[in-house]
Amino acid sequence: MLNPDDSGSRERGISRRTFLRSAVGTTMVDAASGFLDDAKAAEGSGVPVAVAGPEPVPVTLKVNGVERTLRLEPRVTLAEALRGPLGLTGTKIGCNRGACSACTVWIDGVTVCSCMILAIDIGARSVTTIEGLAQGETLHPVQAAFIEHDALQCGYCTPGLVMSCAALLRNRPDPAAEEVRAAISGHYCRCGTYPHVVAATLTAAKARQA
Partner 1 sequence: MNRFAWVNARTIEEASAAVSATVADAMTELAGNAAAGDTAVLKAGGVDVLDLLKEGLLAPARIVSLRGIPGLDAVVEEAGGGLRIGSMATLSRLADHPVVRRRYPALSEAVRASASPQIRNVATLGGNLLQRPRCWYFRAHEYHCLRKGGGHCFAIAGENQYHAIFDNRPCAIVHPSTAATALVALGATVELADAQGAVRQVLLEDFFGPPDRDLQRENDLKPREVLTAIRLPALPAGTHMAHLKQGEKDSFDWPLADVAVVLELSPDGSCRKAALVLGTAAPVPHRAKQAEGLLAGKHIGEDLAREAGRAALEGATPLAKNAYKLPLFETLVRRAILKAALG
Q: Which residues bind partner 1 (CB under 8 A)?
A: 1-2, 7-8, 23, 26-27, 30, 32-33, 42, 44-45, 47-55, 57, 73-75, 77, 96-99, 101, 104, 107, 110-113, 116-118, 120-121, 123, 164, 181-183, 185-187
148 versus 156: smaller Cβ distance to partner 1: 156
75 versus 206: smaller Cβ distance to partner 1: 75
44 versus 65: smaller Cβ distance to partner 1: 44
Q: Which residues contact 167 (CB under 8 A, 6 or more apart)?
A: 106, 109, 110, 111, 183
Hey, how many other C-beta atoms are within 10 angstroms of the C-beta on 209? 10
At closest approach, how far in Å is the CB of 89 from partner 1? 20
136: left (phi over 0), alpha (psi -120 to 50) or beta: left
At closest approach, how far in Å is the CB of 203 from partner 1? 21
147 versus 190: smaller Cβ distance to partner 1: 190
What type of residue is 139? L
In angstroms, rounded to a whole number, what is the distance separating the alpha carbons of residues 157 and 190?
9
Contact between 205 and 175 (Cβ < 8 Å): yes
In angstroms, rounded to a whole number, what is the distance separating the alpha carbons of residues 88 and 103?
12
At closest approach, how far in Å is the CB of 185 from partner 1? 4
44 versus 136: smaller Cβ distance to partner 1: 44
Contact between 53 and 38 (Cβ < 8 Å): yes
Compute the half-sphere exposure of residue 70: CA atoms within 13 Å on the CB side of its CA.
23
At closest approach, how far in Å is the CB of 138 from partner 1? 26
